[in-house]
Amino acid sequence: MCGRFTLKTPERIRLPNYHSDFPTLKPRYNIAPSQDVLTVVQRGAGREATFLQWGLIPSWSKEAKGIINARVETIESKPSFSDSFKSRRCLIFADGFYEWERHGKISQPYYFQMNDGAPFTFAGVWDRWKQNGRTLDTCAIITTTANELLSTIHHRMPVILEAESYDLWLKEDSRATDLKELLAPYPADAMTSHAVSYDVNDAKLDDERLVLPAEPNIGVTLSLF
């Protein structure tokens, strides 16, 4: 799964074939479920930078309970995501993410990013939920099997899209078979990782100290959420 991520260098975002200004953003070091995340969605023939709440709530759901990750293996068949995969895909901006290595009841957090620290995009899906006069636009990050770097820590990883695949991912008439070819593990040799402090487990904390390298320490038990 992907349960936390960062966008600490939003000023480095570069989006091909997108000409509108991005909103001014402050660095984020601990983006958590239910928070708003920067995305790009297709609106007819154009594209729009917008904020979506992380945790997809299907339009037909009776309650506002979000799902933060969608598995590539079931994204076409699971009712929560199938319609969104067909027609409501999005790019979700990040420049790193956290994953936890479990040792029994204890989980050591690690931080993953590109070798050069550059921003990238997760493959996402989104939906609009309306209930009792309330409207929420929400999204989920698609996950796939882990690459060689991630697999030593966790068996899943978020899908990271190459820039040249953005057009295909966003176009409303893209074929499902072509889209699913994009949902593969990202090359491990393009990424790096290191252990970080357990402080990342506290969603109220959001500063640069969270991404600093730390010695792995499995002698402390803390809740993730």
Which is the catalytic residue, given 2, 139, 148, 162? 2
Q: Which two tokens stand for residue 41?
A: 């969605």
DSSP string, the chain: ---EEEES-GGG---TT--SPPPP---EEEE-TTSEEEEEEEETTEEEEEEEEESB--TT-SS---B-EEEGGGTTT-TTTHHHHHH-EEEEEESEEEEEEEETTEEEEEEEEETT---EEEEEEEEEEEETTEEEEEEEEEEEE--TTGGGT-SEEE-EE-GGGHHHHH-TT--HHHHHHH-SPPPGGGEEEEE--GGGG-TT--SGGGGS------S------
Q: What is d(CA 205, CA 45) in angstroms, rounded to the nearest whole number?
A: 39
Backbone dihedral angles phi then psi of residue 109, each to the nearest 5 degrees? -80, 145
Yes or no: say if 85 and 98 are a contact pair by the CB < 8 Å rule: no
In the annotation, is 139 catalytic?
A: no
Which is the catalytic residue, given 90, 99, 139, 208? 99
Q: What is d(CA 22, CA 109) in angstroms, rounded to the nearest whole number?
A: 31
Task: Name the residue type at position 137.
Answer: D
In the annotation, is 2 catalytic?
A: yes
Residues designated catalytic: 2, 99
